[in-house]
A and B are shown apart, each in its own frame.
Chain A
């Protein structure tokens, strides 16, 4: 800690910080805290940028593992670890979690909770991370519960059920702590659930508010669902949102309407599926919404990071929210009002011919799934799916990955049966055309692409940018790489031996900068040689 900060600390009586406690102020100032990683997106704006610059473009070639922690748990390891006061907190697949000693990588405690056998899941048993407040850690479990753990021991302090998993609900999202509340989403839209965003009291676990992402009868938006299709409308909320403390608004993206590929049972726009929502943090009331893909029939969830940046757009300074959508377009919205600013395709798109002035896609006819199959680009997973993105104020660029290529979408009408997939059929790859991927850097003010790093496979990892001018990412084939954030040049790589499905984090510990990532079923922490 440098001296002025240290002094300010005493003056502001940050006893909590001295004890390693994370209070609301620490969360609000997380961007300045080089020794910690306190939330999913590193700061409330979801930048995933750290000013740390000990590891830079010149010396990154020398970094090497300082320690490796083997979880011995198979399954998709998608976590964003938290770091605070010498300890790393990691959630794993199948309801596991660990606290690790930063000095050695040794385990301090291990939490686990069985996953019920009769849980229906679309996509494995991953978990994307903890949230922290005071000495409590918060995580969701697969069976749609939320638990608070004592950060010192890993003991359960409270536990609540968000929804009944027997009805098709499950959970994987990293919670977001705002104003003493733990905000979480939910998953289940492949099973005909009706989804929501919840806020719970951090101390007691009592629910403070719930926002249904599919409005019920009498609520505005319910008329965008024919018949009683709203009851199974989906609109899951499985990726963490962001928060603007000044506006006191929480931004959270929603997923596909159900059934995914069959629009017939749900005539209308199907609000608020595939939308960005701005909710009043205290009450959960909707302030504005923007729907990216009205009446989606391609499973284009819009849950990807809502990243908050102040940027000039068309010569005007804007409080923007930028978002790379699974439907193949990069969007900028005004985060105060939800006003559409612009959208740009970042990968091959054959279903829309640009947007109206209000941001509604201009549809190209004949791209709906059919029995025989319809070739549509991007394919089902996108485009940019959900993987964590990064904004570097140093380069002024926004980094995200993209799955590139098309798929054949087959539809089929199906009745709803509880506990069964409610998808309305399937996708097929195009023969001889493998789906590939890229890491992209775009100018968030224009959507212009600055560089592209091609990947032979659809992307799996998230992004981290640093003050050392670096972008860290990983690949399905197990490489962990450092690119020059300015031009996308490869500077360093390591074959880790397992797919990198998570975003990396960075922190300073005892004077050294570390970069840590989940890879395979291990956590690896890298640093420069001593």
Chain B
């Protein structure tokens, strides 16, 4: 079998187990690619998209990887995950073969590189902290506020398509854990904000000023959970060019700023 020979020739002992090869032993093998694709759909598609087109994770169908373009680089990210991000480590839950089959599937995409957006990052940065008011809700590095998600690494962890959607149609694909809680009190007041918890008897939320509130259902008129966004849509208020500038700026946010 061809891959056995490859194993011997190119095997690259990395780490204690010495399990890592340079190249997937299943490279180009139809059956393995099919199994890899099925596994990908099962475990990875919720974040990376059913066709690996990206979403709440980066696209993996562009034939190029930030982590490196050798099979072994991709294997490592999958096995170890990316600590501090949503990307889980699969090394302890999956067999090596399983991961290598997924790698073989991911290598079936032709290299097309990142989606290029025609814009200017510097202008985008200025809009972000200026007219856009993004910094009033988001953090990049240590700067900004934390009403919405931290965007320090957003260029690496999302597809451009997802970022565009976040600007134009916020709430269409909410990041994990984001929902809005709307409470109507007995005296008719409405308190709403980002939900930090909800269950059958209570809800907790953060309002726009960052204050925490907790309510018992029995003490209020109603508690509603909504899967909508508290972020304004920028489709109207920013020009196409400004939107593109912001996208290019966000694409460049790769987590390198000081934390």
Contacts and interface: CB of A to CB of B under 8 A. Distances in A.
Nearest to A117: B92
A426 B41 contact: yes
A347 B184 CA distance: 29
Contact of B35 (A420, A455, A493): A420
B199 A479 contact: yes
B9 interface: no
Contacts of B50: 373, 410, 426, 428
Interface in B12-59: 31-32, 34-35, 37-39, 41-42, 45-46, 50
Interface in A368-384: 373
B94 to A, nearest CB: 9
B198 interface: yes
B76 interface: no
Contacts, number: 73
Contacts of B156: none
A417 B201 contact: no
- Most chain B beta-carbon neighbours within 10 Å: one of A415, A426, A478, A479: A426
A411 to B, nearest CB: 9
Name the interface size band of chain B: 20 to 34
Contacts of B101: 417, 420
B35 A475 contact: no
A414 B45 contact: no
A168 B37 CA distance: 20
Interface in A424-442: 424-426, 428-429, 431-434
Contacts of A426: 38, 41-42, 45, 50
Contact of A415 (B35, B172, B225): B35
Contacts of A470: none
A262 B97 CA distance: 22
Contacts of A454: 200
Nearest to B179: A434
A429 B97 CA distance: 28
B41 A477 contact: no
Interface in A451-495: 454-457, 475, 477-479, 493
Given A410-B45, A426-B45, A431 B172 contact: yes
A428 B45 CA distance: 8
Given A414-B38, A475-B199, 19 more contacts: A413-B34, A414-B35, A415-B31, A415-B34, A420-B98, A421-B38, A421-B42, A425-B41, A426-B41, A426-B42, A426-B50, A431-B172, A431-B173, A456-B199, A456-B200, A457-B199, A479-B199, A479-B200, A479-B201
Interface of A: 118, 120, 373, 410, 412-415, 417, 419-421, 423-426, 428-429, 431-434, 454-457, 475, 477-479, 493
24 contacts: A410-B45, A410-B50, A412-B34, A412-B37, A414-B34, A414-B37, A415-B31, A415-B34, A417-B32, A417-B101, A419-B97, A420-B97, A421-B39, A421-B42, A423-B38, A425-B41, A426-B38, A432-B171, A456-B225, A457-B199, A475-B199, A479-B200, A479-B201, A493-B201
